[in-house]
C-alpha cells in the first residue's frame, strides 16, 4: 500500500509539472485557436457554395411534341406540381417540328440560348426522352406519368387527406438514437485523434533534452508514464472546455434554426457523463500506446514512422466500431465492446441506444485495467530501450577497478 501511495504521489507531481508547462506556454494559445481556422474556412466555403447554388437555374424540360400535346403536358405538370416532394422541373415549349420534319433534340440540348436539361418529343402515346444518363433514369417515370395524365379527357380528382399528427413513434425514436450514437462516435474519434498526439510529442521532446532520464531516475517509470498521461488528459480537457463553450454560444445563437436532437436511451445527463468518461478512457488507451511508441523512437523521424501505423490502427478501430453499430446484438458488437481500444466507442453508442447502466460500470473497469497494463508494458519497454543507453553500475565499477589496477 505504501508503494502504491508513493507511485500515486510521484504520478501527481509529474502530472502537475507537465500540465503547468503546457497550459502556461505561448504555444497553447495557438493550440486553442487552431481548430477555429477550419471552421472559418468551412463557413466561407459553405456560403460561397450556397451562392453558387442560388445562381444555378432550376432543371428545365423542353417539349418538342405537337402544339396540342405540349399544352396538355404543361397542364398536367401544373396539376401535379405542389403534390410531389421537392417540386417538379420546369417545362418550356420548344419549336414544334413541322409535318415531315424531325426535331433535333440533341441540337436543342447543345444550344446555349435555351439551356434545357432534357427534351421530350414524340407523342403522348409514345413519348421520347432525350437526356443524360442520370437525368434519363430520374425523369423517365415522371414523363410517363405526365403523359398518361395529359391523355386523360378530364382532370384527375385528388381527394383531401385528413392528417393526424403524433409527437413521435418508436421507429422515429430508434432512428434518432442511432443518429445520436453515430454522431457521438464520430465526435469521440475526432477529439481522440486530434489530442492524443500531444503525449507523443511531449515525450520525444523530453527525450531529446535528456530530461526524461533525470525524471526516470527520480520516480518509478510507470508512475512517470501515468503522470504524463493524466497531465495531457487535463490539457485536452481544458481545450475541450474552451471549444465547447465557443460552440455552445454559437448553438445558442442559432438554436431556433437547428433541428432538435434525439435524447439518448440513458438520458442526457448520464450520457454526457459517460461521454466524458469514455473520452478519458479512449484518450488514456491511445496515449499509452503513443507513450510506448515514444519509448522506442529515438528521433522525430522515427516517431513519425512509428506513429503512422498507430494512427491507421485508430482509424480502423473507428470503422470497426461504426460497423458494429449497424449490427446490434451480433458477435461483431460484442467483440467491439470487449476489445479495449474500441470499447469506448462501442459503449458510448450503446448508451445512446440501450437504457441499462450496469454494463458501463463493467466496461469502464475493463478499460481502466487495460490502461494500467499498457502503461506498465510501455514503461518496461522504455526501461529496456532508453535507460540502457547509460553505462550500468556493474560495468562502471569494473572499469574503475581496472584503472586502479593499472
pLDDT band per the 50, 70, 90 thresholds, residue 389:
very low
Looking at residue 343, what is its pLDDT?
A: 94
User: How many domains does the structure of the chain reveal?
Assistant: 2
SS3 content of the chain, % helix, strand, coil (to 5): 70, 5, 25
Q: Which three cell numbers stand for residue 63?
A: 417539349
Using alpha carbons, select from 62, 138, 135 the residue that is nearest to residue 104. Answer: 62
pLDDT at 117 over 50: yes
Alpha carbon distance 284, 288 (integer Å) = 6
Given a contact cutoff of 8 angstroms between Cβ atoms, the answer to whether 385 and 295 are in contact is: yes
Residue 89: alpha-carbon gap to chain centroid: 35
Q: Kindly state whether residues 186 and 305 are assigned to the same domain.
A: yes
CA distances from residue 71 to 67, 94, 117, 151, 263 in whole angstroms, order as listed: 6, 11, 19, 11, 52
The yes-or-no verdict on residue 399 having pLDDT over 50 is no
Cα–Cα distance measured from residue 314 to residue 286, given in angstroms and rounded to the nearest whole number: 8
Weakest-pLDDT range from 25-34, 161-170, 224-233, 393-402? 393-402
> What number is the average pLDDT over the span 199-225?
72
How is residue 389 annotated by DSSP?
A: G
Of the three residues 151, 184, 201, the one that is the final residue of a domain is 151
User: What DSSP designation does 345 have?
Assistant: H
Residue with the larger pLDDT of the pair 289 and 109: 289
Domain boundary among 151, 182, 216: 151
Task: State the pLDDT at residue 51.
Answer: 62
Total H helices, total E strands in the chain = 16, 4
Assess contact for 343 and 336: CB atoms under 8 A: yes
Q: Are residues 281 and 312 in the same domain?
A: yes
More confident site: 13 or 216 = 13
Q: State whether 381 and 268 are in the same domain.
A: yes
Confirm whether 53 is domain-assigned: no
Q: Tell me what pLDDT residue 2 has.
A: 58
Residue found by looking up cell 472559418 in the block: 40
What is the predicted pLDDT for the residue at 400? 42
Q: Please check the confidence at residue 52 and state whether its pLDDT lies above 60.
A: no
| Other Cβ atoms closer than 10 A to 27 | 8
* Domain extent at residue 185: 171-388
Residues 96 and 179 occupy one common structural domain: no
On the question of pLDDT at 130 being above 80, the answer is yes
What 8-state DSSP symbol labels residue 191? H
Is there a domain that residue 130 lies in? yes
Residue 386 backbone phi and psi in degrees, to 5: -100, -50
Domain co-membership, 203 together with 336 = yes
- The H-or-E segment that residue 91 falls in is strand 90-93
Average pLDDT over residues 76-91: 79
The Cα–Cα gap between 264 and 150 comes to 50
Model confidence over 300-356: pLDDT tens digits? 677 667 767 777 888 898 899 989 988 888 899 999 999 999 999 999 999 999 999
The reply to whether 248 and 310 lie within a common domain is yes
Model pLDDT for residues 358-378, shown as the tens digit of each residue: 999 999 999 999 998 988 888
Rounded-to-integer distance, Cα 1 and Cα 226, Å:
18
Q: What is the pLDDT of residue 347?
A: 94
- 391, pLDDT greater than 50: no
Instruction: Give the mean pLDDT of 108-133.
Output: 79
- Residues 258, 293, single domain; the answer is yes
Same domain assignment for residues 229 and 277: yes
Q: What is the pLDDT of residues 247-295, one digit of tens each?
A: 777 777 765 555 566 788 898 899 999 999 999 999 988 888 887 776 6
Q: Is residue 289 part of a domain?
A: yes
| pLDDT at residue 405, as a whole number | 45
Query: Of 84, 116, 151, which closes a domain?
Result: 151
| pLDDT band with cut points at 50, 70 and 90 for residue 397 | very low
Residues 140 and 112 in one domain: yes
Q: How confident is the model at residue 188 (pLDDT cuts 50, 70, 90)?
A: very high
Identify whether residues 137 and 227 lie together within a single domain: no
Whether 367 and 373 have beta carbons less than 8 Å apart is answered as no
Which is more confident, 168 or 140? 140
Cell of 235: 490539457
254 and 139 belong to one structural domain:
no
Q: Is residue 164 part of a domain?
A: no
Amino acid at each position: 500500500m505504501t508503494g502504491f501511495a508513493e507511485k500515486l504521489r510521484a504520478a501527481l507531481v509529474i502530472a502537475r509539472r507537465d500540465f503547468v508547462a503546457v497550459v502556461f506556454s505561448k504555444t497553447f494559445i495557438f493550440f486553442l485557436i487552431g481548430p477555429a481556422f477550419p471552421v472559418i474556412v468551412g463557413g466561407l466555403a459553405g456560403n460561397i457554395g450556397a451562392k453558387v447554388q442560388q445562381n444555378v437555374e432550376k432543371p428545365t424540360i423542353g417539349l418538342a411534341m405537337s402544339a396540342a400535346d405540349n399544352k396538355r403536358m404543361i397542364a398536367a405538370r401544373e396539376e401535379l406540381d405542389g403534390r410531389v416532394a421537392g417540386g417538379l422541373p420546369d417545362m418550356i415549349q420548344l419549336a414544334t417540328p413541322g409535318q415531315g420534319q424531325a426535331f433535333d433534340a440533341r441540337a436543342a440540348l447543345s444550344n446555349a440560348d435555351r439551356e434545357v436539361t432534357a427534351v421530350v418529343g414524340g407523342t403522348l402515346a409514345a413519348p421520347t426522352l432525350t437526356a443524360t444518363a442520370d437525368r434519363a433514369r430520374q425523369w423517365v417515370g415522371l414523363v410517363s406519368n405526365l403523359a398518361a395524365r395529359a391523355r386523360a379527357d378530364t382532370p384527375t380528382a385528388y381527394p383531401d387527406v385528413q392528417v393526424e399528427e403524433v409527437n413521435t413513434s418508436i421507429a422515429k425514436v430508434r432512428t434518432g438514437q442511432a443518429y445520436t450514437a453515430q454522431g457521438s462516435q464520430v465526435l469521440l474519434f475526432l477529439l481522440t485523434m486530434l489530442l492524443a498526439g500531444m503525449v507523443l510529442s511531449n515525450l520525444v521532446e523530453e527525450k531529446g533534452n535528456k530530461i526524461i532520464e533525470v525524471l526516470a531516475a527520480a520516480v518509478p517509470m510507470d508512475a512517470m508514464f501515468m503522470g504524463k498521461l493524466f497531465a495531457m488528459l487535463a490539457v485536452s480537457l481544458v481545450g475541450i472546455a474552451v471549444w465547447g463553450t465557443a460552440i455552445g454560444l454559437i448553438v445558442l445563437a442559432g438554436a431556433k434554426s437547428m433541428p432538435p436532437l434525439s435524447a439518448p436511451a440513458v438520458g442526457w445527463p448520464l450520457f454526457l457523463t459517460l461521454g466524458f468518461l469514455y473520452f478519458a478512457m479512449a484518450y488514456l488507451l491511445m496515449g499509452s500506446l503513443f507513450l510506448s511508441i515514444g519509448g522506442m523512437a529515438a528521433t522525430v523521424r522515427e516517431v513519425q514512422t512509428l506513429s503512422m501505423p498507430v494512427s491507421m490502427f485508430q482509424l480502423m478501430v473507428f470503422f470497426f466500431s461504426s460497423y458494429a453499430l449497424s449490427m446490434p446484438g451480433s458477435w461483431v458488437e460484442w467483440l467491439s465492446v470487449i476489445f479495449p481500444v474500441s470499447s469506448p466507442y462501442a459503449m458510448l453508442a450503446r448508451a445512446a441506444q440501450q437504457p441499462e447502466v450496469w454494463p458501463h460500470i463493467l466496461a469502464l473497469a475493463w478499460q481502466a485495467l487495460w490502461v494500467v497494463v499498457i502503461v506498465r508494458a510501455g514503461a518496461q519497454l522504455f526501461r529496456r530501450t532508453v535507460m540502457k543507453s547509460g553505462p550500468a553500475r556493474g560495468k562502471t565499477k569494473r572499469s574503475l577497478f581496472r584503472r586502479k589496477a593499472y
